[in-house]
Amino acid sequence: MTGARHELQAGSERGRYVATSVYERVREAIVRGEFAPGEALGEMALARKFGTSRTPVREALHRLEIEAIVERSARGVRVRVSSPEEILDIYEVRITLESAAARAAASRATELDRVRLRAAQDAMIATGDSPVERADANRVFHEAVWQASHSATLVDLLHRLNVHLIRYPSTTLAHGNRWKEVLREHEELLEAIEQRDPQRAHDIAEHHMAGAREVRLRMYAEKENRPES
């Protein structure tokens, strides 16, 4: 390989690394709520904010558009605005997939899977009041159920679906008594998996995710009805 070609390839690799880095930073900023739904995302403003050129910003916005986190509008790119209909759509699919994963886990979970699930549940019980820590612990439990299903297709689809959920940074676990309900329902689901009862595991997961959908809709309505400050 000539020196020029080597430099060109190295530059290309650096470019890909920078683009990925900018993508992750913009994505995280949206998830944290630094950019409000409907807020315009100008390439120049983002480039200044993240200390980079416009090219990696443009690539980052393109990836985020594919993930439905941002959208095109008459004035350029903006953070995608959610709606009750979209929430219902996402959760209808999630209910189906999560309950299918739970059914499969009850049939296929190995002893190691059950140990991992019990450890994830114990970690949730030990989690403090931080919404972020609760959301992280909850995600670990659900991912353990997915893995216990031993269905690569279900795991892939559930990970893809989670991309849509990151646009709702406020966790349902911080709403009312939801955390206590989640701990109880997770315990019931774990028992069904340990007892190898696929139908019960399916039904518990279905009820569990339907509850999450109702809380999410309630949170959306409360936000919409909140007076402007």
Q: Domain containing 31 — which CATH number?
A: 1.10.10.10
Q: What would the pLDDT profile of 75-105 be if each residue is shown by its tens digit?
A: 899 998 878 888 889 999 999 999 999 999 9
More confident residue, 46 or 1: 46
| Cα end-to-end span (Å), the chain | 62
Q: How many residues does this entry show for the chain? A: 229
Same domain, 95 and 58: no
- Same domain? 48 vs 92: no
How would you label 6-20 residue by residue, b for 16+ Cβ within 10 Å and e otherwise?
eeeeeeeeeeeebbe
Could you list the residue range(s) of the whole structural domain that residue 23 is in? 3-79
Average pLDDT over residues 105-113: 98
CA 29 to chain centroid: 14
Question: Is it the case that residue 9 has pLDDT exceeding 60?
Answer: no
Judge if 115 and 165 occupy the same domain: yes
Domain endpoint, select from 79, 113, 134: 79
127 and 209 housed in the same domain: yes
Q: Which of 19, 48, 79 is the last residue of a domain?
A: 79
Q: Are residues 70 and 118 in the same domain?
A: no
Per the CB < 8 A criterion, the answer to whether 185 and 211 are in contact is yes
Is the same domain home to 37 and 69?
yes
Domain count, the chain: 2
Q: pLDDT tens digits for 19-62?
A: 457 998 998 888 777 888 889 999 999 999 999 999 999 999 99
